[in-house]
Structure 1
Amino acid sequence: MRKLNVWFLLLVVITSFSIVSCKNKNKQLTPEEIIASIKDKFKGADTIPIDRSIDSTTAYNTLFLDSADVKQFMLDNPEVEPFVSDMIAFYRTRNFQYAWFDSTGMIEQASNFINVLNNNEALHKDSTLRDKKLFTMFEKMKNIDVDSTKRSEKNVLEAELRLTGQFFKFAQSTYEGKIDAEKLGWFIPKKKVDINVLFDSTVKAKNLNAEKLFMNPIYGKLQEQLIRYKKFKEEPWDSVTISKGKQLTPADSTSILLVKRRLSLFGDYTGNVDNVYDSAFTQAVKSYQKRYGLNETGVPDKAFVRSVNTPVDSILKKLVINLERAKWMPVDMAPTYAWVNIPEFKLNVYENKNKVFDMNVVVGSQANNTVIFTDIMEYVVFAPYWGVPASIVKKEILPAMQRNGNYLARNDMEITGNSGGIPTIRQKPGPKNSLGLVKFLFPNAYDIYFHDTPSKWAFNRSNRDLSHGCIRLEQPAKFAQWVLRYNPQKYSAAYIDSMMHKNTKETHIKINKEYQFPVYLVYFTSWVADDGRLMMRDDIYNHDKEMEAKLFI
């Protein structure tokens, strides 16, 4: 019968979980507004039916709350205001039957839940979720009996309601994230959690791995790295220095020893930890450079030394920031999708949950950030026109036209109209077109798409944040062939090549519905690669900096 208690608890959480964060998560209310809000929510709860079938003769539990006591608790404890509607709805659907106590005292689920909270706090070094009074009460009450003469005692009622409020707060923070993602420019819909399974796994679990069941795999992999890197705080972390010139040389024996020791911790170096500048050292440097998105030269230059001197605390902060982002991701990705991690400057293509290929990309510059969102790939457009955005016309094209009256003709551009005193300009299909020879549309509110480019030089750079916001592909023909793979006879490699290089008329091909797939444009500055290695990238848009200000106060 104890499971019935769990079932009711979950029923309400699952219906209201997403509403809580959207409406209340970051709204700052005055004390007077909080009290008024609690009263309004209590009135509004009258529309939620009370399950009258639950009474002293049918309930598994003989302990019942008085709704007036519930209301008074909420007025006395305004910190529960964000969860008032959910808590009231929860108790009304169980006719105000206790959830965490029965006639024998505090039930096992309550102790398990407190253990999960303690474990979560120890791992993340974050006590902001802790209801200090609840934890004090828990220690005093966990072993007492609650018979019929004690069921109305204020401390039992308060512990019951504090446990329920703490569960809502924990669920929201842990499985949705502490930050309003959209306020930080993240427009990928938040994942939905099966709270029924969540309760069973989180509250009943004896270990920390329960969270992983409700997160995108990115989360679990990053959490493992967080645990691993926390141990490095116990290691010496002396600064690596270059004695002369622009890179470490065999003469820098002390620094070489430090680097080998550090790269050994990271997993880039597996040889003897000595001060010898050898081929194994060069390969380890190259491995580290690859993980950090540096030029893979194997040369321990200034950029390498600056990076390898990053304090452990800074690395840990970066991991925590990206763990928070992982909470915003869908739990289960579609089996087939395209994935661009903006700071990585790469497109990764997955089919049946396996990566089939990747390629370099160019993303939006710091002044023209690529938006973080997801949508469905629907069209391939060969020989595209480029409708020059009004902002580019105003800032770049018009000044160029003033400097050179032949600018439009020289760049295969034409004026097609006028809007608000600014000419409407488009660039004709062809090799000069800024979109190259093909573009790929996943229609969205941000007017962002994939496209070819005549500027191939950019793909050889390590930092490729150069565009006006759209994604330039290094191998557009390869991507087109994969997108249209469902009809290889019609859309052969020869056909695609012809459409890209011989065609002068803009041609739209709609992808068959069953072969359309989601495109994810995401922003992770740390993640774990398919080979299990931790990857790190620069915070090109300062999104980490914004999150740090909110997470580490």
Structure 2
Amino acid sequence: MPRRHWANLTSASALAIMLSCAPVLAQTPPAQAPLAQAPLATDPATGVPLPETPQLKLLDTEKPAPAGQTATDRPSDSDIVTGTVKSGATLRGAASVDATAPVETETEPVTLDIPQVEVPALDPALVPASKSSEPAPAPAPAETAPVQAAPALPAPDKPVTASVTVAPPAAAPAAGPLEAIPSLVPPPEMPKVVVDVPPGLAFAADIAARANDGVAVRRLGERERGEILAAYQANENKPFWIDAKGWTAAGKRIVAQLEHAADDGLRPTDYALPVFELSDKAKLAEADVRLSALAVLYARDARGGRLDPRRLSKLITPTLYLPSATEVLSELAGAPDAGAVLAAYNPPHEQYRRLKAKLAELREHLDDTPLVRIPAGPPLKLGMRDERVPLVRARLGLGSSDDSVFDRSTSLALADFQKKAGLPANGILSERTLAALGKPATARGEEDIVAQMERWRWLPPDLGAKHIMVNVPEMRVRVIRDGQVIHEARAIIGKPDSATPIFSHKMDHVIVNPSWYVPPSILKKEFLPGLAADPDYAAKRGYVVTRTKGGGISVRQPPGERNALGWIKFMFPNEHAVYLHDTPNRRLFAGERRALSHGCVRVDDPFALADQVLGPEWTSERLKKLIGKGERRINLPQPLPIHLVYNTIVIGADGHITRFDDVYGFHRLVRQALEQQG
């Protein structure tokens, strides 16, 4: 390269170096002059002023280095200088510091002017990050640690003063992890977390575990137990009747009703309440399920579920209206007064309420009849002699007697006692009569009332605004409308060996000039033996014999004055094939003992009854005009409920008790069944 070109290049390089150093030299005052404010630097690329860099300034309190001290007399880099860092308004420029001056080794404070860092206002919605429990990495050595330039922030309005103490080398601890710096800004107050637990959910696990034990109640069927368990599952196994304090208000009302079960002729021991401690949550849970099971059992018993009437006799076939467990729990859980709802499962009928009042009256008065223990022995009949006769007379209130003859007065008194006790009134001192004599009169009366109340449970809760009531033991037929008797007539009932059945149904039509088809029982007992002895047996009596498709025979009595059904019959088709009808033997109604039919109920003055059931369109006069003109069916305007009942005890409005003969022994069967169940 030519020398001239080298010279030009060297001159240009020197000029560039001088130009680049000129601003620094121009801004650097002499060592003794005060520090001047440096102009802001500008980005050469964009022309935007760069942020001001904080400058370090040594305050005047720092002592100057002694004259003549050389660089070799200054403390080594390993020496530690302690001092106090303070904030100042300005910083000394780097050019004002003499690099050759010795560093002070005294422990006087060193003041640094550090600009305050402006911290933006804290957003209350922000939650400060939790402190890290992991140690921070150790800082790199001073000679190797890289220096990162922090972004400059605007100068604060007020300075921040910090004090830093640098320990001597001997006291300096070994390098270790940096400690976590606590937040200078207090964390905002956290809202309280409230967990809303559904009521009763705390018992869910215990109810699920103890539910099977809770429903294990005697006489409660498997179907009802399953329905109770299903009801709890549908309720998320939450309790119905308890809380942490014991029974709820609804539970207390149910408990109170169960405790008064005896008032309705029910047995309180059948509804023994569970015992528990409030501290035992498992027992509380089981008690809730047990109370549900007892409430279901009570409701079904109140509706007649204690006994199965068809097991007592095939002629007792009422339709029971037993509620399901689901129905009972649904009604009780949603009722304002669960106790009243449970009590309403008992019969609502007026006669039942009178029986209940009479039962309470009997229990209030003690029996003043002296009890006489009569020894067991053979049955005593009229005219027999026995040493027990004076004891029997004393028990019956006939007065003392030394005569040991079982005379007529004793037999009649005993028959009256048997009638009241629901026993066959035959005047014979049997084993059963002897057992009844050993009970107080109050106890016997209670048992009779309870057995009669039980039969009222077999009737529908709603008898019908207008209905027919046939009381079989009383042998009377009544038409009742809105609780008032609008028609009453005597009746003839079935004989003891062909008893009138007990059930409820609906009468739907009437037949005038009916034919009588001999029922199979009468055909077998009377007609077949008669036809075997005389082929004209049926014809001589006005009956028509026809062959059936199955090879049997059918015997029919055509309409007429001698027809066994008379001129009219009232039909309510039923499994027993019985009905109400007229009779040609009307003189039989004058007798007191009228158990004479083959099972149907014969009605005195049937056309007056027809006036009540057929309405004004078909009067008795119009019906009588149809007599002898052939069989005619007339439908009722609407089906009429009819109830064939067995009431041996009837309470009058004045509280007087009327008793009727237990002609079929049904009353005795009910009373014995209740006693055996207990």
TM-score (normalised: structure 1):
0.67
CA displacement, residues 426-451 of structure 1 (integer Å, 9 cap, x when unaligned): 11111111111111111222211111
Structure-2 residue corresponding to 1:235: 368
Give me the whole-angstrom Cα distance separating, in 1, the residues matched to 2:291 and 2:602: 51
Alignment: residue pair count: 424
Q: What amino acid sits opposite 1:520 in the alignment? A: H
Comparing 190-199 with 443-452, greater Cα deviation is found at 190-199
Q: 8 Å contact 2:239–2:288 — kept in the other structure? A: yes
Partner of 1:474: 604
1:492 to 2:606 alignment:
no
Provide the secondary structure at the position in 2 that maps to 1:234: coil
* Aligned counterpart, 2:208: 70
- Mapped to 1, the partners of 2:591 and 2:541 lie a distance apart of 25
User: Could you list the per-position Cα deviations for residues 278-335 of structure 1 after superposition, in whole angstroms to 9, with x for gaps in the alignment?
Assistant: xxxxxxxxxx99x98xxxxxxxxx99xx9xx994433321211111111222222211
Contact 1:318 1:525 in 2 (8 A): no
Letter of the structure 1 residue corresponding to residue 505 of structure 2: D
Letter in 2 for 1:397: F
Rate the CA distance shift 1:63–1:453 in 2: closer, same or farther, 3 A.
same
Of 351, 371, 389, which aligns to 1:218? 351
Identity score, percent: 24
1:108–1:482 distance in 2 versus 1, CA, 3 Å: closer
* Unpaired segments ≥5 residues, structure 1: 1-55, 246-253, 260-287, 293-301
Contact 1:342 1:522 in 2 (8 A): yes
Matched residue SS, 1:481: helix
Structure 2: which 5+ residue stretches go unaligned? 1-194, 373-381, 384-392, 399-415, 421-426
For 1:101, the aligned partner's letter is I
Deviates more, 1:69-78 or 1:450-459: 69-78
Tell me: CA distance 1:237–1:540, structure 2 relative to 1, closer, same or farther (3 Å).
farther
* 1:116 partnered with 2:252: no
Amino acid of the structure 1 residue aligned with 2:354: K
Distance 2:221 2:636 in 1: 48
Aligned to 1:167: 295
Q: Deviations over 1:324-377 (max 9, x none)?
A: 111222222211111111111110111233210111111122221222222221
Partner of 1:540: 663
Are 2:502 and 1:372 aligned?
yes
SS at match of 2:287: helix
Name whichever of 208-217 and 178-187 sits farther off: 208-217
Larger Rg: 2
Task: Determine if contact 1:212/1:220 at 8 Å carries over to the other structure.
Answer: no
State the secondary structure of the residue aligned to 1:63.
helix
Is the 1:215–1:329 contact (alpha carbons within 8 Å) kept by the matching residues of 2? no
In structure 2, distance between residues paired with 1:118 and 1:425: 59
Q: Work out which of the residue numbers 246, 249, 267 in structure 2 matches 1:126.
A: 267
Find the partner of 1:392 among 510, 522, 539. Answer: 522
Classify 1:457/1:198 alpha carbon distance in 2 versus 1 (closer, same or farther; 3 Å): farther
Residues 211, 234 of structure 1: alpha-carbon distance in 2 compared, 3 angstrom cutoff: farther
Tell me what 1:183 maps to.
311
Q: Which amino acid aligns with 1:527?
A: V
After superposition, where does 1:451-466 map in structure 2 within 5 Å? 451-466=581-596
Q: 1:537 and 1:387 mapped to 2: Cα distance?
A: 32
Q: State how far apart, in whole Å, the 2-side matches of 1:492 and 1:204 are.
A: 49
AA partner of residue 221 (structure 1): R
Deviation at 1:419, TM superposition (A): 6.2
1:501-535 CA-to-partner distances (Å, cap 9, x unmatched) read xx14111112223xx31111122222334665332
- Residue 522 of structure 1 is matched in structure 2 by 645
Equivalent of residue 439 in structure 1, options 565, 569, 578: 569
CA distance in 2, matches of 1:209, 1:331: 14
Alignment of 1:251-400 (within 5 A): 311-400=441-530
Distance 1:498 1:121 in 2: 56
- Give 1:93's match in structure 2, choosing from 234, 241, 262: 234
Any conservation in 2 of the 1:216–1:327 contact (CA below 8 Å)? no
What SS does the aligned partner of 2:496 have?
Answer: coil
**Aligned residues of 1:411 and 1:432 also touching (Cα < 8 A):** no
Q: Secondary structure at the match of 1:395?
A: helix
CA-to-aligned-CA distance 1:41-87 (integer Å, 9 cap, x gap): xxxxxxxxxxxxxxx847344533127x5355516974476342122
Helix, strand or coil at the partner of 1:544: helix
After TM superposition, give the deviation of residue 422 of structure 1 in Å: 4.1
Determine the C-alpha separation between the residues in 2 that align with 1:127 and 1:319: 17
Q: Distance in 2 between matches of 1:511 and 1:77?
A: 48
Deviations 1:94-116 (A, max 9, x none): 21112222234432333333332
Q: Which amino acid aligns with 1:163?
A: L
User: Alignment partner of 1:375: what SS?
Assistant: strand
State the secondary structure of the residue aligned to 1:164: helix
Secondary structure of the residue aligned to 1:519 is: strand
How has the CA–CA distance of structure 1 residues 482 and 531 changed in structure 2, closer, same or farther, with 3 Å as cutoff? farther
AA aligned opposite 2:351: I
**TM-superposition CA deviations, 1:142-195 (whole Å, max 9, x none):** xx4x6xxx6xx3222222222222222222223343112333344332246685
Say whether the 8 Å CA contact 1:376–1:519 is kept in structure 2.
Answer: yes
1-structure distance, mates of 2:322, 2:221: 23
Partner of 2:565: helix, strand, or coil? coil
Kindly state the Cα deviation for residue 378 of structure 1 after the two structures are TM-superposed: 1.6
Deviations 1:434-487 (A, max 9, x none): 111111111222211111111223212222222111111111121122222231
Query: CA 1:471 to 1:327, structure 2 compared with 1: closer, same or farther past 3 Å?
Result: same
Asked if structure 1 preserves the Cα contact closer than 8 Å seen for 2:565 and 2:582, the reply is yes
What is the CA deviation profile of residues 226-249 of structure 1, one whole-angstrom value per residue up to 9, with x for unaligned ones? Answer: 11223444333689xxxx99xxxx
Q: Which segment drifts farther, 465-474 or 95-104?
A: 95-104
Q: Using the alignment, how far apart are the partners of 1:539 and 1:403 within structure 2?
A: 38
1:358 match: secondary structure: strand
1:63·1:103 contact (CA, 8 Å) conserved in 2? no
Contact 2:493 2:602 in 1 (8 A): yes
**Larger helix fraction of residues:** 1
- The 3 A distance-change label for structure 1 pair 60 and 313 is same
Given residue 170 of structure 1, which amino acid in structure 2 is its aligned partner?
A: Y
Distance 1:468 1:211 in 2: 39
* Aligned partner letter, 1:412: G
The answer (yes or no) to whether the contact 2:358–2:655 under 8 Å persists in 1 is no
Deviation at 1:118, TM superposition (A): 2.2
Structure 1 contact 175–215 (Cα < 8 Å) conserved: no
Q: 198, 208, 213: which one pairs with 1:59?
A: 198
